Chains A and B, each alone.
Chain A
Amino acid sequence: MLLFEISRFIRKSKIRIVIVVLLLLLASVFSKKNVYELLRVSNLLPDNAVLSVPDFLIGILNSTQFVMYFIFPVLFSILIADIITADFNEGLINFILPRLKNRFQYIITKCTMVFLMSILFTCFVVFITALLVAVSFNMPFNHNKYHYIFLITAKSGGSMFITYMSMVTTFIIGLTFIGLITLVVSFYTRSAGVAIGVIIILSFIHNAFYVVSSDLIIWLPFSQYIVGLHNHFAPYGIPVRYFTMHFSNIYLFVGIALMIVLLILKIRKVDINNVESKG
């Protein structure tokens, strides 16, 4: 069924994918200035220092407020919010389910789609938009690195490659979790629009907690996929002792499992009907 889902998604969402990529491109352009400013106000950039590609890439994946709390979750939810509800609204569910062994297979395929989309989205962010912006603005690939993640990783004797891989992996898993939250809300409310709305509200809640510097932010979902926000990178990260990558990994995996369970509970017995019917 995965092949059917992938081909159908690409066919159906071509325009949406293009719009999301364009918005990501804009976000990358915005992030260039944002990352620079963030390092400058943190007194990490000497005068007239040039931002390098590694700094920029690391910076994007750790641009907490606007990019990681708002742009990425919202764009990702727009991309995948209707992958279940569209089947119901378009009536295709009547053709899909009788071709499957069980309903669990349907939900697992949708979850796999979310995971694949999060990988695709990460590729868009890291390899297409960010690198395109970096090349367009003539950023040097090999240059002094100023981002605090480089500094702290070097100071603690850690490998930058492993840190970077961990950042990308956490980003993918975090996006998967955000995508599954979107799916759960859209499936339970039978509305992709409501699901995107919930993600936007969640983004505002994250930003509000961030602005007032509340430690409670460590319990919010979008904080888990920002590696630079963790205690290991304090004082630039949140100085709460147990807010480690280990904490976030457990949070994300438990969250993902919970979302899958919620989806299965819903699909297991629901009367498949059009979008207005009650399950």
Chain B
Amino acid sequence: MIEGLKNHIFLIVDQENKGLLDYTYSASVANAVIKGIYNSSVMLIPIAYFDKSVIENYGNNFRNNYKLVRKDTTVYTNSKNMTSEGNVCEITKDIASNKMFDLHPLLVSESWIKKRKLTAFRVSKLKILETTCDRYLTRFKTFTGDSFFQQYIGKQLDITDVDTNEFAPAIIEWADINGMSPKASYYDLKMKYDSAGISVVRANAIWNKYSNMINAVKDKQEFEKLDIISRVEIEFRFGEKQ
């Protein structure tokens, strides 16, 4: 509930040279793409650390390349060079005093540019896939406190026995405020709860299936041949039992 906006960006970073392969504002897109790019990790960074002009169009501009650097903050330990998930960057003292992270120019090979292009291509397609999922899920967002509401009301529905007229307090509360009987309240809430739950599971399964498919695609031609975006729409609208 009221999760608040944080201005974060998710960087796809190469574990080998700490090079920035691409970026996205979606954690799920970032986590999906690293499953298909060898030796890559997601780094969550506050957007304020970067000059926007450096980041913008990075996915289309392959002339400039950067590595992610982090300020050396160690005082007593000697663990500053340890790279692990959530900490994939080069440690340096050469960084502005008001920043924890920054991007520094990186010299790269042609093969690395190829890796960058593949990452950017897949990120662009995963964004389309995620937007499609969002579009079908938007109809279930009806209240600012949905995330707490859904889990709580699920338990209240479970402890209600409509056949014996034993209603959980939240079911009665909903009925009182909305001017309906507890029985109507139960059916109203149960219908909405099931509808949202089943649809979210379904959308997640579709996301899982097609993000894996995108991660196996090497280029635009292959992507178009597989007609992935049309298939996603068909799957959402009509389904296709495999």
- Tell me whether A and B are bound partners: no
| Partner-B contacts on A (CB < 8 A) | none
